[in-house]
Amino acid sequence: MQAINTYGTKLYNVAFFILKDEALAEDSTQDTFKKIWLNLDRFSFKSSLYTWMYRIAYNTALTTYHKEKKHRTVDTTYDPSSVQINNIEEITLKDAIEKLPFNYRKAIIMYYFLRYSIKDISVELSVNENTIKSWLKRGRSQLKGYLDEK
């Protein structure tokens, strides 16, 4: 119960940023805690408990994302010209982050919100540190562009 109180919100946020759907994020978070509970004996103490839990949450959310993607149907009645964009509409930071490409979004969230170091992000995502730096720089640049548009 203490793990849910301590890490529940953080793990939910990881799922939400991947899935962009509250109900799916809640289900994914529940699945995450189920997996954590069932595999607790496999935790090897080579990393922090949160890093291990984060990885389970991340992988669970990605699995859910791919399952949902397969089940979605394309709406053939959608007409892009019928959509009117209101330039006065305010863009929040969360909205701007959600517009970022997936890799940039991961890097921004892990670095600024989850307080991972560049080295930790590199290890966690199995990507070169310079790539992480590049993703952060490009992500910040795109965020600035999105927020300046408002």
Q: What pTM value is reported for the model?
A: 0.53
| 13-51 pLDDT, tens digit each | 888 888 888 899 999 999 999 998 898 888 888 777 888
Could you say which architecture CATH assigns to the domain 2-71? Orthogonal Bundle (1.10)
Residue 19 near residue 68, CB atoms below 8 Å: yes
Classify burial at 106, counting beta carbons within 10 Å of its beta carbon; exposed 0-12, middle 13-18, buried 19 or more.
Answer: buried
User: Which architecture, in CATH terms, is 89-149?
Assistant: Orthogonal Bundle (1.10)
Residue written as tokens 């959608």?
A: 78
φ, ψ (nearest 5 deg) of residue 20: 55, 35
Is there a contact between 54 and 114 (Cβ–Cβ < 8 Å)? yes
List, for residues 70-82, the tens digit of each pLDDT value: 766 444 333 433 3
So what's the pLDDT on residue 46? Answer: 78
**Structural domain boundaries in the chain:** 2-71, 89-149
In the chain the first and final C-alpha atoms are separated, in Å, by 42
Instruction: Write out the H or E segment, with its range, that includes residue 112.
Output: none
Helix (H) or strand (E) holding 20: none
What pLDDT was estimated at residue 1?
A: 58
The rounded distance, in Å, linking the Cα atoms of 77 and 30 is 35
pLDDT in tens, 99-136: 889 889 888 888 887 788 899 888 888 899 999 999 99
